[in-house]
């Protein structure tokens, strides 16, 4: 098979035959080194990705010991504080973890005091971690702004909080689309819903109207209904008048 072998040998020969100087040569040989070990580099990248995924899973593990010993509210609060969020018990102040991730464990003494509000903005909560949140039966306010792993499947799980939840914020979550928002109709007591700035929603203005129809007693904060509509006649004539940009 002289044709094929000559081909590949030719490419390698070419890379060695071309004269390069200094750092360019070093850079080239590093790339050549990596390219020769393509499958090893791929395996390393996959391993690093798996480690990242495992890290998120580890953050969302269930805290069964705390739940059995101190009750579901304390377990939920511990979970949120560990992730870097903030928790407000009924009648108490907001408890937040500091810059190093440390927080006081005083709340474990509140035996049956329910959690009223949870601020989980930016936390790495995922589908599994929602188990800890769903145990908070008297939660009134839930803020999930900019959570990178909250997606449509998670929204489908929020229905156990229907009796108590009054305020929900999903602003800036990159994985939420209008399909997940359709499952919010279970939350009959919802009074404030923030669905602004959702990049995965295909038609934000229309989605806001449809969600408003779905939840009649809820105030929906979202995209302006006129967003996405074609521009009016005044704007069009302006374009025609000044074709050359300033």
Partner 1 sequence: MLRRALQLGLGRGLLGRGLLGRGLGTHRGGSTLGKVEGSGGYRGSWVAPVSSYVTFRTRDPAHDGKTVGRLGEGDQNGKVSEIKKKIQSVLPGGAWNPPYDTSYLPPEHSDVVIVGGGVIGLSVAYWLKRLEKPRGAIRVLVVERDHTYSQASTALSVGGIRQQFSVPENIQLSLFSEYLAVVDDPPLDIQFNPSGYLLLASEKGAAVMESNVKVQRQEGAKVCLMSPEQLRNKFPWINTEGVALASYGMEYEGWFDPWCLLQGLRRKVQSMGVLFCHGEVTRFVSSSSHTETTSGEEVTLKRIHEVHVKIDRSLEYQPVECALVINAAGAWSGQIAELAGVGKGPPGTLQGTKLPVERRKRYVYLWHCPQGPGLETPFIVDASGAYFRREGLGNNYLGGCSPTEEEEPDPGNLEVDHDFFQDKVWPPLAQRVPAFETLKVRSAWAGYYDYNTFDQNGVVGPHPLVVNMYFATGFSGHGLQQAPAVGRAVAEMVLDGHFQTINLSPFHFSRFYLGEKVQEHNII
DSSP E strands, 20-92: 86-89
The set of residues, in sequence order, having a beta carbon less than 8 Å from that of 197 and lying 6+ positions away, is: 171, 172
Nearer to partner 1, 75 or 181 (CB): 181
Question: Would you count residue 137 as binding partner 1 (CB under 8 A)?
Answer: no
Using CA atoms, how far apart are residues 65 and 236, in angstroms rounded to an integer? 65
Which of 82, 146, 157, 191 is the binder for partner 1 (CB under 8 A)? 157
What's the closest the beta carbon of residue 224 comes to partner 1, in angstroms? 17
Q: Does 227 bind partner 1 (CB under 8 A)?
A: no
What is the contact mask toward partner 1 in residues 14 to 53, using x (rule: CB under 8 A)?
Answer: -----------------------------x--x--x----
Toward partner 1, which CB reaches closer, 151 or 194? 151
Total residues belonging to the chain: 246
Tokens of 6: 């000559």
**Interface with partner 1, residue 211, by CB under 8 A:** yes
**Dihedrals φ, ψ of 115, to 5°?**
-85, 130
Out of 29, 32, 163, 202, point to the residue binding partner 1 (CB under 8 A): 202
Of 201, 135, 144, 191, the C-alpha closest to 165 is 191
Place of tokens 């790495």: 124
- Window contacting partner 1 (CB under 8 A); options: 21-29, 65-73, 211-219, 234-242: 211-219
The pattern of x and - marking residues 91 through 130 that bind partner 1 according to CB under 8 A reads ------------------------------------x---
Q: What sections of 60-203 are H helices per DSSP?
A: 64-70, 72-83, 130-134, 152-155, 178-181
d(CA 163, CA 141): 12
> 174 in helix, strand or coil?
coil
Give me the residues that bind partner 1 (CB under 8 A), please.
Answer: 1, 3-4, 43, 46, 49, 127, 151-153, 155-157, 159, 177-183, 185-186, 202-203, 206-207, 210-211, 213-214
């Amino acid at each position: 098979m002289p044709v094929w072998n000559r081909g590949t040998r030719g490419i390698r020969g070419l890379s060695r035959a071309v004269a390069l100087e200094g750092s360019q040569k070093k850079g080239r040989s590093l790339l050549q080194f990596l390219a020769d070990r393509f499958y090893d580099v791929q395996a390393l990248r996959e391993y690093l990705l798996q480690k990242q995924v495992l890290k998120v899973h580890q953050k969302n593990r269930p805290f069964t010991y705390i739940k059995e010993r101190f009750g579901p509210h304390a377990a939920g609060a511990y979970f949120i504080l560990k992730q870097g969020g903030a928790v407000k018990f009924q009648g108490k102040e907001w408890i937040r973890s500091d810059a190093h991730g440390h927080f006081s464990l005083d709340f474990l003494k509140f035996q049956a005091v329910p959690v009223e509000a949870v601020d989980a903005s930016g936390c790495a909560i995922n589908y599994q971690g929602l188990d800890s949140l769903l145990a908070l039966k008297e939660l009134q306010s839930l803020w999930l702004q900019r959570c990178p792993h909250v997606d449509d499947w998670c929204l489908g799980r929020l229905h156990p909080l229907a009796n108590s939840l009054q305020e929900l914020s999903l602003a800036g979550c990159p994985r939420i689309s209008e399909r997940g928002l359709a499952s919010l109709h279970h939350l009959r007591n919802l009074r404030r819903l923030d669905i602004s700035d959702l990049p995965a929603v295909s038609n934000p203005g229309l989605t806001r109207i449809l969600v408003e129809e779905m939840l009649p007693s809820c105030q929906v904060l979202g995209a302006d209904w006129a967003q996405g509509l074609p521009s009016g006649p005044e704007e069009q004539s302006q374009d025609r008048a000044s074709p050359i940009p300033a």
